[in-house]
């Protein structure tokens, strides 16, 4: 860090320092796991108080860029995966590749079952057989989400011969106009991790999980997919873009 703070402008010094450290992290001058200079070192480098330094560091910790280890120092945290899942119809694999990472999938279960009552209601089923697909999904070999998907058997039985460790669901469903997903309703909430999440997502302790319930509809507004996805809160951040109406 060589750039000096500008004390002649009305921008708070802690914010200037915060932006400098953040730039060093994004430029990978400081890589994941690296220790940043101590509060005293930063105070001496920039000629500012340790209180000012502490405010900058605290905000970076709160924003998940840094983490503290008692008696050892402050370290760069692994960046969260920036996802457009909330507002995108694209596949998980495409989104992860767009981020420069390698996606992979582990198929945990794939069978025809009787639909749970809440699934049958959301899919508006008359006959209650559904195809159940249970997957664990990875980015660069690190598990980031568990997904349970339900498809109406009478409309989607052609997917039964597919390999969901290699193939993405939406492109397969798009091979038929009757099952192509053109609209999704998503319900989002933060929930506590349970034993299922801790075991499958390799969580060290109970953390927040970002839970998404998605209902996908075809061009006739008929529900085709019901999915429950549980994302690691410490590894994912989701983007929402809102545009004002003209």
Contacts 24+ apart (CB under 8 A), 120-126: 122/215, 122/223, 122/226, 123/150, 123/152, 123/215, 123/223, 123/224, 123/226, 124/222, 124/223, 125/152
Q: 26, 49, 76 — which closes off a domain?
A: 76
Does one domain contain both 101 and 212?
Answer: yes
- Residue 171, pLDDT score: 92
Where does a domain end: 76, 98, 128? 76
User: Rounded to whole angstroms, how far apart are CA atoms 135 and 233?
Assistant: 18
Per-residue model confidence as pLDDT tens digits over 33-59: 899 999 999 999 999 999 999 999 999
Q: Are 106 and 47 members of one domain?
A: no
pLDDT in tens, 169-189: 999 999 999 999 999 998 888
Q: Which of 35, 60, 76 is the last residue of a domain?
A: 76
Q: pLDDT at position 236, please?
A: 59
CA-CA distance, 128 to 152, in Å (whole number)?
8
Q: What is the pLDDT of residues 59-112, one digit of tens each?
A: 998 877 888 998 899 998 876 655 554 455 566 777 778 777 888 999 999 999
Global pTM? Answer: 0.65
Tell me which residue range forms the domain holding 21. 13-76
Q: What mean pLDDT, rounded, does the chain reach? A: 86
Q: What is the mean pLDDT of residues 112-118?
A: 95
Which tokens belong to 200?
Answer: 């499958």
Assigned domain for 1 exists: no
Report the C-alpha gap between 133 and 135 in whole angstroms: 6
The per-residue pLDDT for 158 is 95
């Amino acid at each position: 860090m060589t750039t000096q703070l500008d004390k002649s402008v009305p921008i708070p010094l802690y914010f200037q320092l915060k932006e400098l450290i953040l730039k060093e992290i994004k430029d990978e001058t400081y890589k994941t796991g690296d220790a940043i200079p101590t509060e005293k070192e930063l105070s001496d480098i920039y000629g500012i108080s340790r209180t000012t330094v502490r405010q900058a560091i605290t905000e970076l910790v709160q924003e998940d860029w840094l983490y503290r280890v008692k008696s050892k120092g402050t370290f760069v945290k692994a960046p969260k995966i920036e996802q457009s899942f909330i507002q995108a119809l694209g596949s998980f694999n495409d989104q992860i590749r767009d981020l420069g990472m390698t996606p992979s999938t582990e198929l945990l279960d794939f069978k025809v079952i009787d639909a749970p009552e809440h699934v049958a209601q959301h899919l508006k089923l008359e006959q209650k057989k559904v195809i159940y697909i249970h997957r664990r999904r990875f980015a660069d070999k690190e598990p980031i989400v568990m997904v349970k998907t339900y498809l109406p058997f009478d409309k989607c039985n052609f997917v039964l011969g597919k390999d969901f460790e290699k193939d993405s669901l939406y492109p397969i469903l798009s091979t038929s106009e009757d099952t192509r997903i053109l609209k999704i309703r998503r319900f989002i909430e933060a929930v506590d991790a349970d034993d299922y999440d801790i075991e499958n997502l390799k969580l060290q302790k109970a953390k927040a999980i970002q839970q998404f319930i998605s209902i996908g509809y075809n061009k006739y507004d008929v529900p085709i997919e019901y999915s429950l996805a549980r994302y690691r809160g410490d590894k994912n951040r989701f983007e929402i873009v809102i545009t004002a109406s003209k």
